[in-house]
Amino acid sequence: MARKVPLAGPRVSLFVGSVLATLIFAFIATVVPMSEAGASRSFDPYIGYAILFGAVAWLMGALATSRIQADGGTLELLSLLVVTRIPADLIDEVAGSNGVIVSTPKGDYGTIAYGASVLQIFASSKSFMRASRRINAWKIGATAEGMVIPKEDLCIRRAVRMSWVCTLPLFMAAAVAYAALVREMAPFLGPYLGVPN
């Protein structure tokens, strides 16, 4: 099995933004049900917000891990919950002036982590340009080293990122555990958060 080679890793800004969004929802999942329940011992006010928190954390994790990598002679664009696999032989050009765009005879492809933006119209991102050069260099190397795909398999495939989708039960279980913890800590945390007991 070919080793996966990172060509454009997860974006730091997306990772930081995802962590901040997760922390904000963690705060909401803590304070709002406490206020509604008045530090109640009932589990109901906490579970709904905790599951919302778990779902947001799961999606933010998918966003933070969106990236571009190579698997043998195939380029993989991981974007949220979808992975697009493009054989090197089908890549015409990779541009990085406004988002990292992979051009093929069947259309253009990209990933949310390295997508186009209005800001890049006026000032191109150096990291995006570097990523496009790395992908172009990989394509040349993959072709030169004979890492080509059999002709019958020369097609672009899109699939669900099952490796990430399978983590959803873990996030939901963690969310339920978090709800239970908040419920138990409500009488002690309530006064510090301005929530009456």
Percent of the chain with pLDDT over 70: 83
Alpha helix ranges (H) inside 4-108: 12-37, 44-64
Q: What is the pLDDT of residues 53-99, one digit of tens each?
A: 899 999 999 988 999 999 888 899 999 899 999 988 889 999 888 88
Residue 134 structure tokens: 């790395």
Every domain of the chain and the residues it spans: 8-64+165-193, 86-157
Place of tokens 């571009």: 68
Whether the per-residue pLDDT at 187 is higher than 90: the answer is no
Q: How far apart are CA 153 and CA 23, in angstroms?
A: 43
Q: What is the pLDDT of residues 5-21, one digit of tens each?
A: 889 888 888 889 888 98
What are the CA-CA distances from residue 150 to residues 11, 70, 73, 105, 183 (Å)?
33, 17, 10, 17, 57
Q: What's the pLDDT at 78?
A: 93
Comparing 91-100, 154-163, 187-196, the range with the smallest average pLDDT is: 187-196
pTM: 0.80
Q: CB neighbours of 112 closer than 8 A, spacing ≥ 6?
A: 63, 66, 79, 80
More confident residue, 139 or 122: 139
